[in-house]
């Protein structure tokens, strides 16, 4: 099921488009949830009105669901797909409408959500929604047993020699669905017109063709896993041999593992170098931020200290001016007024000292909080760098040991 989506505004234009009966043979409003009105224009007006309480301009998320042309997809399957999308994109519970269109013997669905959370009056973030939808779309093709579009197969299994560091890490995290693996190999089989073309197509997917230890053709991936080609293609060994010839001319599993190891070691070494270079660049940026922050904090403390000293001098002069002088001062000492003013001055000086101390502590605590935030980023960068290097070192060790692993397995089988 092909999934196409966009964030958008213009609810009235979208409502008019969804209800066009001149472009569609049948239009059905299947579900309206979370809106006061069942009319699309009124529902989208409501969504727009709520969005005005926020800064969000593209307050709608519009999605089309297009199954294969010859597939009869029940409504329940559309609903299940929409529920899966809601959970994956964080739109569960959001106001939505579902509309079905039929045209030229095909039925597809449109689902439109309001992105505005009515309780928090914030917009739902739609980060990486295209990547997530592509993953869901691939899952739907596999779940329903539909023929996979070539684009999905090309992106699912690629030659790891050409992986970027990010693609290598993603491939390790996600793994490959066994159904997708079989579909990719079968695609190579169907579009190849010779053994050489089939072998080249497999290499584009990061798969090597080899001679099995016991009998038949086998496939080997970059992790050294061995798969029966006949079983993967759902064919008999005899049928595979009729197309590819006997496997005797192919390298053995051990030889192929050595070839994979030799080919992948430079790739991993390049990824390690890329990780180191990236860490050095990001570390330099963080160190520069730390230095700028240190200088800024020092200037703020110096400025506060200078201002407090100047204020202390002014306040001291002001308190001194309150004390009577001359005959008036002599009389105030006799009456006790002088002592009262001095006590008040001393209390005020103590309060000023406590105020200055609090100002200094507030500044220091605020700066410490800012510096801790930066330090967490520095620690996270160091931790991420160490983990990436550890993973790549593990991959490096894996390819170092790859040929020997098969020899050990062979000795166990002999025993």
Domain ranges of the chain: 2-144, 155-251, 263-413
pLDDT computed for residue 322 by the predictor: 79
Non-local CB neighbours of 382 within 8 Å, separated by 6+ positions = none
Q: What is the mean pLDDT of residues 248-252?
A: 87
Q: How far apart (Å, rounded) are the C-alpha atoms in residues 263 and 161?
A: 8
Give the range among 36-45, 172-181, 379-388 with minimum mean pLDDT: 172-181
With CA atoms as reference, report the closest residue to 351 among 391, 321, 311, 388: 311
63 Rama class: left (phi>0) / alpha (psi -120 to 50) / beta: beta
- Burial code of 316-325, b = ≥16 C-beta within 10 A, e = fewer? eeebeeeeee
pLDDT computed for residue 314 by the predictor: 92
**pLDDT tens readout for residues 313-372:** 999 898 888 777 777 767 777 777 778 888 888 899 999 999 999 999 999 999 999 999
Question: Could you identify the residue written with the tokens 């002599």?
Answer: 330
Q: How far apart (Å, rounded) are the C-alpha atoms in residues 275 and 272?
A: 5
DSSP 24-41: -SEEEEEEEES-S-SSHH
pTM over 0.85: no
- pLDDT for 412 beyond 50: no
Sheet order of strands, 26-33 included: 2-8, 60-66, 106-114, 96-103, 26-33
Most confident range, picked from 103-117, 156-170, 218-232, 288-302: 288-302
Q: How far apart (Å, rounded) are the C-alpha atoms in residues 24 and 202?
A: 43
- CA 205 vs CA 34, 148, 153, 221, 396: distances in Å: 45, 15, 9, 9, 21
**Residue 162 or 260, more confident:** 260
Return the structure tokens found at 313: 């001098």
| Top-tier CATH class for 2-144 | alpha beta
Q: How far apart (Å, rounded) are the C-alpha atoms in residues 212 and 246?
A: 11
């Amino acid at each position: 099921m092909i999934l196409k989506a966009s964030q958008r505004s213009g609810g009235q234009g979208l409502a008019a488009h969804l209800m066009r009966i001149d472009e569609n043979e049948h239009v059905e409003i299947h579900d309206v949830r979370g809106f006061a009105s069942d009319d699309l224009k009124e529902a989208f007006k409501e969504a727009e009105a709520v969005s005005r309480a926020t800064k969000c301009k593209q307050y709608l998320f519009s999605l089309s669901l297009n199954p294969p042309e010859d597939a009869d997809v029940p409504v329940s399957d559309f609903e299940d797909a929409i529920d899966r999308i809601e959970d994956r994109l964080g739109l569960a519970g959001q106001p939505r409408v579902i509309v079905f269109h039929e045209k030229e013997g095909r039925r597809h669905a449109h689902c439109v959500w309001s992105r505005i959370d009515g309780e928090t009056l914030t917009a739902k973030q739609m980060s990486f929604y295209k990547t997530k939808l592509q993953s869901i779309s691939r899952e739907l093709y596999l779940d329903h047993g539909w023929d996979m579009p070539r684009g999905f197969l090309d992106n699912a299994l690629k030659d790891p020699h050409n992986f970027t560091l990010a693609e290598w890490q993603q491939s390790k995290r996600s793994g490959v669905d066994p159904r997708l693996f079989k579909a990719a190999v079968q695609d190579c089989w169907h579009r190849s017109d010779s053994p050489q073309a089939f072998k080249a197509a497999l290499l584009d997917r990061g798969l090597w063709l080899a001679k099995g230890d016991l009998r038949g053709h086998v496939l080997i991936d970059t992790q050294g896993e061995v798969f029966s080609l006949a079983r993967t293609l759902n064919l008999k060994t005899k049928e595979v041999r009729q197309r590819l010839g006997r496997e005797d001319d192919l390298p053995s599993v051990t030889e192929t593992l050595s070839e994979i190891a030799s080919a992948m070691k430079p790739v991993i070494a390049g990824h390690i170098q890329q990780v180191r270079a990236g860490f050095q660049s990001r570390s330099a940026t963080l160190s520069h931020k730390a230095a700028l922050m240190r200088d800024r904090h020092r200037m703020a403390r110096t400025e506060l200290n200078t201002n407090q000293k100047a204020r202390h001098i002014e306040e001291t002069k002001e308190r001194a001016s309150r004390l009577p002088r001359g005959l008036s001062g002599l009389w105030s000492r006799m009456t006790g007024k002088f002592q009262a003013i001095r006590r008040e001055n001393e209390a005020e000086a103590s309060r000023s000292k406590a105020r200055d101390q609090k100002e200094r502590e507030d500044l220091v605590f605020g700066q410490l909080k800012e510096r801790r935030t930066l330090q967490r980023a520095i620690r996270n960068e160091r931790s991420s760098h160490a983990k990436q290097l550890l993973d790549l070192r593990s991959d490096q060790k894996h390819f170092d040991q790859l040929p020997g692993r098969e020899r050990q397995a062979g000795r166990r089988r002999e025993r």
